Structure formats: C-alpha cells, structure tokens
Amino acid sequence: MNKPRITLFIIAKNEAHRIAACIQSAQDLVSEVVVVDAHSADNTAQICKDLGAHVFEREFDGFTNQKNFALSKATGQWALNLDADERLSPQLKEEILTAVQDEKTAGYYLPFCNYFLGKKMRFSGLNKEKHIRLVRTGQARYVGGLVHEGLEVNGPLKTLRYPVNHFSYDTIEAYFTKFNKYTTLAAQQMHQSGRRFCGMRVFFTLPFEFCKRYVLKLGFLDGMRGLLWASFSTYYVYIKYMKLWQLEQADQ
C-alpha cells in the first residue's frame, strides 16, 4: 500500500521567530507545506520558502476564510493544520503515520500540551484540550466567523493519543500583542451576529469566568501562571464586551 501524502498547512503573519521550528517538526512526516502569509512585515515568507514551503500571500479577512483558502491549496490526501507556535511531538508523528492508513476515518482530534510563559500548564482548563487538526482533503471545511473557527468533517472522527506541543505565549508582552487583535475580532463577530451589549451580563460573567478557570478547573495548582491565565482570560472577556459596546455607540 502506498503511503498517503500529507499536506501541512499554516496561516501566519509576522512569525519569523518561530515558524521554522513549526515546519521542521513535521518535515519528515509531510509531503508538502503550504503557508498562507497575511503580508508579514518580517521575513516569515522567505523563511518558509527557504524550507521548501509553497507560500501564498493573502490579506487576512478572518480565521475561517484564511484557513479555508489554505486548505484549498493542499494536494495531499490528508491535510494537517498547525499554528506557528505549535510543534508535533515525535510520538505523534509516528501515530499519524499509522492513522492515515485507516480508510474508514475522515479526521482526527489531536490532544494539546499547552505551555504558558515557558512552562507546561497541567490544569487551568488547558490539560484536556483537543482539536480536529488532521483531515482528509475534500471531506472537511472550516466554519465559523472571524474567530473561533472549527473544522466540519464529512465522516467518522477519532482521537489520537500523543500531543501537539503548543508554546502559546513566551512572555506577557506576547500575550497582549495578540490580545488586542483577538478581542477586536471577537467583538466584531458578536456585533455582526446581532449580539447586544448588556452591562448586567458582564457584571455577573466576569467573576464566573475567573472562578471557572482558577477554582473549578484547578488553575491554582498551576501556581502564578494559573493565576495569570485566569486573570488574563477574564480581562479578555471584559474587553471583548467593552469593544462590542463601542461598536454599538458608533452605530448611533
């Protein structure tokens, strides 16, 4: 039986400092690499080209559209999606090689091992995270809005055992660099879908958001990183709703 071809696809912008490690973690597994670059100001595109990737420049218009475009460029029988701050573990690569031989399965959930400020997060709601990241091309597409995109797969799904290593934010500065973009997109998506700002909802939601991550999901066992993650995540929700309020004010 011929080994199925796997395409790695990545969407990126200004990821020159880490995208090479992402691609290199999968190079001995995949047959091609597709990178959709949103007109980076650094040399992201050139680094990817030097590593043999097919690079497409495209203006960012939301995660769903950007990833669907990247998926459409995959020529392998299977497509594997990673972000620039993610790496395949060696055990996962071996598991994927076996998984893609299964002719009855259309896609796989991959578990995630999340790192925050340089250390593995064992609790805080991050220890059981998994996402559909490996699919048969032609049997999957992204659905959703500007943020919170997800893969819709036509066929049976299974879950693999070994993780993708996700090095999300090395510094607090890195967290807040993305924070502004993501909260803006989240507010725009709520606004477009007809969601309305409600001060009382925000008032009651914020304490719950913090307690959910720090207490119910045992964030306190992650030490200071757990406290920061719960605090930052709660602040994210607050700013998202404040930006929704600002959009509504602009409509008046």
Interatomic CA distance for residues 11 and 72, integer angstroms: 12
The per-residue pLDDT for range 9-18, each reduced to its tens digit, is 999 999 999 9
Cite the DSSP H helix spans in 90-222.
Answer: 90-99, 172-192, 199-211
Full set of structural domains in the chain with CATH: 6-168 (3.90.550.10), 171-251 (no CATH)
Q: What sign does the dihedral 66-68-73-76 (CA atoms) show?
A: positive
Tokens of residue 130, six digits: 């998994």
Other Cβ atoms within 10 Å of 8 Cβ, number: 25
pLDDT tier at 145, thresholds 50, 70, 90: confident
The pTM of the full predicted model, rounded to 2 decimals, is 0.91
The per-residue pLDDT for range 62-112, each reduced to its tens digit, is 999 999 999 999 999 999 999 999 999 999 999 999 999 999 999 999 999
